[in-house]
Structure 1
């Protein structure tokens, strides 16, 4: 029976490539199904054997721990350099786009709450 190791929906290409390389370096016999274009099927990495699944899951857990640490360090570096920011930085770099998005959010919230306000 197949064992699902990891969902590939919303996984960046570089992470998927690193996982493929990890599995091939450790000779994990896996196969891959791609996610659908419209988000109906999730895609993922799979193995057939339960023992292989346990070994692959332990490799994935270690890889995810290392990736989390490296991504946190990269984000902290961007934040300290002022490259990562919130709404204010988006507004400074792309004011028209940010203002249009905020206006669209207000319109959607207004339309959603309109029936409750009229009660």
Structure 2
């Protein structure tokens, strides 16, 4: 269970009544906008606490240092979704992905990201250190 800064943000993340989300891989909080985009937030909307720093740069740097720097397939898939969101092959291959929202490496099946260690598809990469 993830410990958030206050009960309210935890409640609204679980209830899915407010368009706020938490990315445990990058340790980021964001608000979903009407345009299917997201806006990172840096302070809790309920208690005003400063939220943890995003780890997205550290994530990509660590992958690169481990020799997993070529993330071209991820960006190619993102472009394909942007160009042709109803592509049946892509829908079939990306099991739990919501095509209306952005996605991360964690949402891709293992066969599409064979070179990425499993721990980098969860929050284990930063919790173990």
TM-score using structure 1 length: 0.28
Q: Which structure is higher in helix share?
A: 1
TM-score using structure 2 length: 0.27
Larger Rg: 1
